[in-house]
Structure 1
Amino acid sequence: MRVMVTGGAGFIGSALCRYLVLERGWEVLNLDKLTYASDLRSLDTIDHLPNYQFIKADIADPLAVAAALHDFGPDAVMHLAAESHVDRSIDGPGAFINTNIVGTYHLLEAVAVYWRGLMPDDRERFRFHHISTDEVYGSLGPDDGLFTEQSPYRPNSPYAASKASSDHLVRAWCHTYGLPVVISNCSNNYGPFQFPEKFIPLMTINALRGKKLPVYGDGHNIRDWLHVDDHARALAMIVEQGRVGETYNVGGRNEARNIDIVRQIFDLVCELAEDVPVTKFDDIVEFVADRPGHDHRYAIDATKIETELGWKATHDIASGLRETVQWYIDNRDWWQSILDHRYDLQRLGQG
Structure 2
Amino acid sequence: IIERAYEKTGQRVVILVDEYDKPMLQAIGNEDLQKQFRDTLKPFYGALKTMDGCIKFALLTGVTKFGKVSVFSDLNNLKDISMDERFVDICGITEKEIHDNLEEELHQLAEKQKMSYEQVCAELKECYDGYHFVEHTIGIYNPFSLLNTFDKMKFGSYWFETGTPTYLVNLLKKHHYDLERMAHEETDEQVLNSIDSESSNPLPVIYQSGYLTIKGYDERFGIYRLGFPNREVEEGFVRFLLPYYANVNKVESPFEIQKFVREVESGDYNSFFRRLQSFFADTGYDVIREQELHYENVLFIVFKLVGFYTKVEYHTSEGRIDLVLQTDKFIYVMEFKLNGTAEEALRQIN
Give the TM-score, by structure 2 length: 0.25
Q: Which has the larger radius of gyration?
A: 2
Q: Greater relative contact order (Cα 8 A, min sep 6): structure 1 or 2?
A: 1
Give the TM-score, by structure 1 length: 0.25
